[in-house]
């Protein structure tokens, strides 16, 4: 068992190093993932130039990824539960943001750019905490379940309008919002309507029950159901027109309690991770007290290792949502790479979506020599690697899946 565990860790580290290295070479002179960068040697698109840790003297600036490969790069014909989406925890709690109340804010931040910036970087899952405050719906942290001037970030209307603007401008995109809801019945639906979002909301009555597959992404877009809103409160289907999250999603423990090595327990309100009555899987990976330095160290290989642990715990299912703090912080591939890994496993049975071969049988993997421009900053081809119709000889987290195994997540392969 110890040898197997060591082998898994070794292969995992090799995968991270290999997949991180295969980042498409952008404009001549641009630095690649993990390379030093500066104003004269900038990073390519989908990356940023920054020190991994925010602490002074933590080292030179390097290029790190901010954007996953577009999960739709190989099409939108799969059920929604066969895609994985980068998700931000407390998406509204942004560093350096004063409270809209005018009071100094004491609540710790969890992200570093606006919700619009997050969406532009490929984030498609947003976590919002809502409270009735100042005769409106606000996004807030709390003390003893109450929102105060010094913990309130902004009215929910601001973020909801950002979501509306993004959906209007990007007609093929789908966004999922997880609401930790402390508001009265009707408050959320009123805010959604005021922002002009009601027309986009996926009706709970049309959501699949008993763990069935979701509609294809293509059909969701065609029907205009491009905003999934899940609330933590039961019975809001009637008052707010939104679904109770744990009827459709199994979710891991959040905060530091959910980070025990080798463990992937469900949060108290969720069904067990191996429940087949829910067809969506959410993995939380962040500390109780938000830490940029922790994210810097852990948002790459430790995160991918947790996905593998949760695959075992979740009835052999890879996550559909990967929720992190400070999603742009990592020593290289980060949370975007973890999203690529989950999408590779879900969509084609490969170690990363970068290795999926277009229009090929499931389980056919290759190291690409080129990628469409939409993925150019997210995974890079090795110019010397040849394309092949058989699985590429790359380090694996799991044996590739056979074409006959593609009907549901539960048939995904077991990792090493």
Instruction: Tell me what pLDDT residue 46 has.
Output: 92
Residue 123: name the closest of 376, 329, 324 by CA.
324
Residue 19 vs residue 59, higher pLDDT: 59
Tell me the per-residue pLDDT of 346-405, one tens digit each, with 9 for 90 and over. 999 999 999 998 888 999 998 765 444 334 333 332 323 333 333 333 333 433 333 323
Q: How confident is the model at residue 30 (pLDDT cuts 50, 70, 90)?
A: confident
Residue 171 vs residue 414, higher pLDDT: 171
Contact in structure between 140 and 93 (CB atoms under 8 Å): no
Tell me the per-residue pLDDT of 114-135, one tens digit each, with 9 for 90 and over. 999 999 999 999 999 999 999 9
Global pTM reads: 0.86
Q: In this model, does residue 267 exceed pLDDT 50?
A: yes
- Residue 111: both structure tokens together: 């992200």
Kindly list the distances between the CA atom of residue 365 and the CA atoms of 79, 123, 371, in Å, as whole numbers in the listed order: 21, 25, 14
Contact in structure between 241 and 187 (CB atoms under 8 Å): no
Residue 48: name the closest of 344, 334, 373, 295 by CA.
334
What does the pLDDT average to over 233-262? 96
Tell me the per-residue pLDDT of 163-220, one tens digit each, with 9 for 90 and over. 999 999 999 999 999 999 999 999 999 999 999 999 999 999 999 999 999 999 999 9
d(CA 368, CA 372) in angstroms, rounded, equals 10
Instruction: Tell me what pLDDT residue 357 has.
Output: 87
Instruction: Tell me what pLDDT residue 145 has.
Output: 81
Instruction: Tell me what pLDDT residue 15 has.
Output: 53
How would you class 11 by CB atoms within 10 Å of its CB: exposed for 0-12, middle for 13-18, buried for 19 or more?
Answer: middle
- Beta carbons within 8 Å of 121's beta carbon, 6+ residues apart: 46, 66, 67, 113, 327, 328
Instruction: Tell me what pLDDT residue 180 has.
Output: 97
Q: How confident is the model at residue 63 (pLDDT cuts 50, 70, 90)?
A: very high
Q: How many helices (H) and strands (E) does the chain have?
A: 9, 12
Instruction: Tell me what pLDDT residue 368 has.
Output: 61
- Beta carbons within 8 Å of 10's beta carbon, 6+ residues apart: none
Tell me, what DSSP letter sits at residue 53?
S
Task: Give me the DSSP letters along 202-242.
Answer: PPGGGSPPTTPPPPBHHHHHHTT--EEEEESSTTHHHHHS-
Torsion of CA 115, 116, 120, 125, to 10 degrees: 30
């Amino acid at each position: 068992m110890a040898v197997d565990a060591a082998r898994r860790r070794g292969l995992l580290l090799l995968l991270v190093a290999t997949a991180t290295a295969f980042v498409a070479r952008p404009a001549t002179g641009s630095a690649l993932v993990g390379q030093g960068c500066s104003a004269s040697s900038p990073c390519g698109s989908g990356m940023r130039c920054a020190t991994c840790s925010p602490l002074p003297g933590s080292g030179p600036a390097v290029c790190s990824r901010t954007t996953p490969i577009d999960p739709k790069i190989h099409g939108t014909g799969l059920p929604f539960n066969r895609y994985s989406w980068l998700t931000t925890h407390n998406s509204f709690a942004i560093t350096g943001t004063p409270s809209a109340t005018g009071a100094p804010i004491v609540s710790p931040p969890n992200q570093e750019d606006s919700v619009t910036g997050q969406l532009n970087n490929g984030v498609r899952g947003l976590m919002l905490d809502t409270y009735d405050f100042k005769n409106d719906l606000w996004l807030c942290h709390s003390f003893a379940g109450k929102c105060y001037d010094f913990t309130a970030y902004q009215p929910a209307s601001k973020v909801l309008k950002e979501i509306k603007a993004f959906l209007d401008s990007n007609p093929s995109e789908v966004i999922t919002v997880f609401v930790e809801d402390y508001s009265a019945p009707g408050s959320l639906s009123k805010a959604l309507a005021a922002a002009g979002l009601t027309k986009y909301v996926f009706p709970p009555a049309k959501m699949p029950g008993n763990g069935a597959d979701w509609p294809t992404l293509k059909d969701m877009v065609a029907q205009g159901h491009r905003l999934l809103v899940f609330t933590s409160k039961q019975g809001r289907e009637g008052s707010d027109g939104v679904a109770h999250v744990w009827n459709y999603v199994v979710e891991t423990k959040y905060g530091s309690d959910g980070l025990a090595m080798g463990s992937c327990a469900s949060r108290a309100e969720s069904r067990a991770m191996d429940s087949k009555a829910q067809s969506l899987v959410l993995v939380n990976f962040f500390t109780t007290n938000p830490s940029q330095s922790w994210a810097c160290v852990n948002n790459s290989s430790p995160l991918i290792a947790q996905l593998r642990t949760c695959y075992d715990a979740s009835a052999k299912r890879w996550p559909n949502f990967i929720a992190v703090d400070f999603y742009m912080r990592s020593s290289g591939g980060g949370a975007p790479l973890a999203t690529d890994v989950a999408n590779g496993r879900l969509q084609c049975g490969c170690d990363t979506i970068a290795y999926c071969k277009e229009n090929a049988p499931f389980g056919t993997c290759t190291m690409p020599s080129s990628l469409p421009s939409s993925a150019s900053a997210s995974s890079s081809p090795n110019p010397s690697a040849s394309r092949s119709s058989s699985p590429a000889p790359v380090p694996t987290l799991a044996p590739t899946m056979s074409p006959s195994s593609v009907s549901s997540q539960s048939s995904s392969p077991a990792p090493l």
